[in-house]
Structure 1
Amino acid sequence: MPQMVAIVILLFILYIGDFISIRTKAWIPSMFISAVLFLIGYWTFFPQDIVAIAGIPNTVATLLIYLLIVNMGTLLSVKELIAQWKTVVISLSGILGIVVLLFGIASFIFDMNTVIVAIPPLVGGIVSALIMSDGAAQAGLTSLSVFAIVIYVMQGFAGYPLTSIVLKKEGKKLLQQFRNGELVVKEEVEKTDNTTEKKHGLKIFQVPEKYNTDYFKFFKIALVGCLAYLTSTFLAPVVEINGAVLALVFGVIAKSIGFLETHALQKANGFGFAIMGLMLFVFDALKSATPSMLLDLLTPLVVCIVLGVFGMYIFSFIAGKVLKVSKNLAFAVSLTALYGFPADYVITNEVIKSLTSDDEERKALTSVMLPPMLVGGFVSVTIVSVILAGVFVTFL
C-alpha cells in the first residue's frame, strides 16, 4: 500500500470518529469509533504495518510521546500537582479495587496465572502488557502471553464510553455551578499568557519575541524531553524510572521557571500533528487482536474487565466520599487506568467541547476536569502498572 493512500485512509477513520462524537455530543467518543474501524480494517484489508507505512513507525511515536508529555507538564504547576494529592489517592484506590475483585472473585473462576497476567495490563498501558506477555511466554504459557496483549487492546472499549458518560454528568453539574457563580476558577489555565509568564519566569530564559520562533519552541520542548530521557537512562542502574514520568515532571519544572510557555506545543504549531501521530500509534496495537484470538479469550477477557471496572467503581466511590470528591469525577479518574494518555486528554476535551461553545466556560471546565484526568492516567498507567508488572511477573 502506498504511503499517501495509507495516511488518507487512517486520517479518514480518525475524522469519522470525530464526526460521530460531535453528532452524538460525545455520548459515543471518537476513540471508540476509531478503535472499531481499525479492528475492521485489520480484519479485512489493512496491512499489519499500515501505521508505519503511513509515516508513524515506533521511533516517531516515541518522539511524539516525549513532546506531548512535556507539553502536558506545561498545563500543570508544581502547586497544582501537590494539590492533586486527592487524585493520586483515588487513582490508587481504583487500582486496589481491580486487584481485590480479581483476586477475590476471578481467581475462583480461572486459574491463578490468568488473574496474575490480567491485572497489570488492566491497570496500565503497553509497557506492563509487554512485561506480562514476555513473562508468560518464558513460562511456557502461550495463550496467556497473547491474553496480556488482548486485554490491553480491548479494555479501552469499556473505558472510552464509560468515561465519556461520567465526565458528561460531571461537566453538566460543574457548568451549572459556574453559571450560578458557585464555581470559583483559578485564572491560571489560559491566562498565564506571555505577560504573566514573563513576570514569573527567570529572565535568563526570556528572548525577544522576534527570536521566539516555532523552531526555537520545538527546540526547547525537545531539550526538556531529552533531559528526561537522559536522566532515566542515568538512573536505570540504580532505580527504574520511566522516561515519560520524568518528562511530565521536567515539563512542570520547565514551565514553573519560565523556560517553557503554557501550551508550548500548541504555540509551536505542532500539537495537532503530534496528537494525530500518537493516536495512530495507539490504534496500531489493535493489529494483534485477530477474531479467533478474541473468541478463544472472550470469557476471561469479559469477566476480568467487568470485575475490574466494578472494583474501580466501588473503591473510587468510597475514596471520593471520604475525600469529598464527586463520584463521577472519582470514577472517571480511576477509569484512566484503562487507557491513559493521550485518550484521557482527548476524551476530556471532547466532552468539554460538547457541553458548551463559550470560551470562558470551556476554560472553567478544563481547569477543574483536565488536571485530575491527566494525573490519574499517569499514576495508574505510567507508574503503578509498571511496578505491578515487575512484581507480578515473578509469580508466573
Structure 2
Amino acid sequence: MTFAWAFTVLVGIYYVSTVINSLTRGRIGTAFTSFVLMLLGFWSGLFPKDIVGISELHGLYSILNLTILIHVGTSFDPKQFKREWRLVVIIIAGILGMAFLVFTVGGAIFGTQVCIAGFPVYLGAVVALNIMHQAAVEAGSMDLAAFVLLIQATQALIGIPLIGTGVRMEGRRLLGLKSDARLKGGPGSVAPETYMADGAPKLIDRLPKRLDNPFLHLLLAAFYGALAELIARYTGALTGGIIGVAVVGIVLGMLLRQLGLISRNPIDRAGLMPVLLFAMITVMRSSLAELSPYTLLEYLVPLLGLFAISAAGMYGAAYLVGRKLGYHKGMIMACVFCCFAGYPLNYQVALENIQLMTEDAEEREYLKNEIVPKIVLGSVLIVSVTSVILAGIFSTML
C-alpha cells in the first residue's frame, strides 16, 4: 500500500467515525467506531500491519505530544477549586475510593500491571490514554497497549447512561423544590460559561490583531512544551519519574495562562486540534495490528470487571463524603461519572436530559444553572487534570 492510499483510508475511517458519533449524539463515540473499523481491517487482512507507518502520521503525532500538555493546562482555572470546594473534596474522595478498590480487589483478581495500565485511563482523558499507551508500547507490552485502547473505546457507552441517570435524579429533586425560595440564587446558580471563563483579558489577549495569528499560538505552545520537557528531565530525575513531563506540562500551562503568557486552548486557536487528535487516535490504533481475537476476548472480563470495580469505588466513596457535605446522590453520580464521558460529551448529555424533563423555559434555565456548572467542573478536575497527572506517575511503573 502506498502513502496516498494509506493516508486516504485512515482519514476515511476517522471521518465515518465522526459521522456516526454525530448521528448518535455521542452514544457511539468516534473512538469506539475507529477502534472497531481498524480492528476489522487488520483481522480481515485488508490493512497491512504497518498502515499507520506508511501514512507517515507520526510527525503530526509528535507535534501533538509536544504541545498537548501545555494546551490542557491552559484550560484549567485554579479559582474553580475555591468556588466549589465541596465538589472538589467529593471528587478527590471518589478518586481515592476508585484507586482503593481497583488496586485491592481488581489487583487481586486481574493482576497489578493491568490495574496500573488501566486506572488513569478509567479516569478519562485522551491525553492520559496517550501517556499510558506509549508507556505500554515502550515496555514491550502490546497486549496492555491494546487493553487501554479498549477501555477508552468503550467508556462513553457506560458513562452516558450513568451521567444521564444522575442528571434526571437531581433534576426531579430540584423541580420538586422549585417553589422553595431558599434555593433561588443559592450556591451553583451560575451559568456554565463562568466555569470556563478567564475574567479580565490577559496580556496575550491584548496583543494587536496584526500580531495575533494561528502561528503565534502554535509557536507558544511548542516553545513552552519544549521548556516543559527540559524541566521534566530534572524533576523526573529528582523524583524517580513521579514529577515527569505530564505533571510539569499541566502545571506550566496553568501558570503561564494565569500570567497571561499564553492563550486559553492554544491548539484550538491555531486551528490544529481536529487534525492532531486524528493523528493521535490513529497512531495509537497501530498497536491493534498485534491484537488477536483471542486476546480481545481474554481482556473483555478484566475490562468489564474493572469498569464495575471503578464505578463502585468512585461512587461509593464520593457518596459517603458527598452526603456529609450536602450533595444529593443524583448530583454526585452525574459529577463523578464524568470520568467515563468527559467534556463536552457530559455537557451535551446534561442538556439533552434537562430538555426532556420539562417544557418550561424558566425551569430548564434553572436546572441548567444548578446542574451543568458542577458537571463541567467535575469533568475538568477528574478528566483534564487528575487523570493526566496520575498517568504521568503510573506510566513509570509499567
TM-score tier after normalising by the smaller chain length: 0.7 to 0.9
Matched, 1:162 2:182: no
- State the Cα distance separating 1:207 from its structure 2 match: 3.7
Distance 2:161 2:51 in 1: 32
User: Which residue number corresponds to residue 9 of structure 1?
Assistant: 9
SS at match of 2:238: coil
- 1:226-257 deviations in Å (ceiling 9; x for gaps): 22111111222211212122222211212211
User: Which residue number corresponds to residue 374 of structure 1?
Assistant: 380
User: Which residue number corresponds to residue 90 of structure 1?
Assistant: 91
- State the Cα distance separating 1:64 from its structure 2 match: 0.4
User: Which residue number corresponds to residue 275 of structure 1?
Assistant: 277
8 Å contact from structure 2 (residues 162, 337) kept in 1: no
Distance 1:104 1:208 in 2: 57
TM-score by length of 1: 0.74
Mark the CA change 1:101 to 1:175 in structure 2 (over 3 Å): closer, same or farther: closer
User: Which residue number corresponds to residue 358 of structure 2?
Assistant: none
Mark the CA change 1:149 to 1:211 in structure 2 (over 3 Å): closer, same or farther: closer
User: Which residue number corresponds to residue 321 of structure 1?
Assistant: 323
Distance 2:264 2:21 in 1: 27
User: Quick one: which amino acid aligns to residue 226 of structure 1?
Assistant: A
Mark the CA change 1:325 to 1:14 in structure 2 (over 3 Å): closer, same or farther: farther
Mark the CA change 1:65 to 1:390 in structure 2 (over 3 Å): closer, same or farther: closer
- Note the 1:110-125 alignment, pairs <5 A: 110=109, 114-124=110-120, 125=129
Mark the CA change 1:381 to 1:191 in structure 2 (over 3 Å): closer, same or farther: closer
Mark the CA change 1:270 to 1:389 in structure 2 (over 3 Å): closer, same or farther: closer
Distance 1:150 1:117 in 2: 14
- Note the 1:216-231 alignment, pairs <5 A: 216-231=216-231
Any stretches of 5+ residues in structure 2 without a counterpart?
121-128, 179-183, 356-364
Q: Of 233, 245, 248, which aligns to 1:246?
A: 248
Superposed CA RMSD in Å reads 4.0
Mark the CA change 1:227 to 1:385 in structure 2 (over 3 Å): closer, same or farther: closer
SS at match of 1:253: helix
SS at match of 1:237: helix
SS at match of 1:261: coil
User: Which residue number corresponds to residue 257 of structure 1?
Assistant: 259
Mark the CA change 1:383 to 1:288 in structure 2 (over 3 Å): closer, same or farther: farther
User: Quick one: which amino acid aligns to residue 271 of structure 2?
Assistant: N
Mark the CA change 1:72 to 1:250 in structure 2 (over 3 Å): closer, same or farther: same
8 Å contact from structure 1 (residues 75, 189) kept in 2: no
Aligned length: 365
Identity score, percent: 18
User: Quick one: which amino acid aligns to residue 245 of structure 2?
Assistant: G
- State the Cα distance separating 1:90 from its structure 2 match: 2.0
Mark the CA change 1:208 to 1:235 in structure 2 (over 3 Å): closer, same or farther: same
User: Quick one: which amino acid aligns to residue 308 of structure 1?
Assistant: S
8 Å contact from structure 1 (residues 42, 287) kept in 2: yes
Mark the CA change 1:389 to 1:123 in structure 2 (over 3 Å): closer, same or farther: same
User: Which residue number corresponds to residue 69 of structure 2?
Assistant: 69
Mark the CA change 1:104 to 1:219 in structure 2 (over 3 Å): closer, same or farther: closer
User: Which residue number corresponds to residue 28 of structure 1?
Assistant: 28
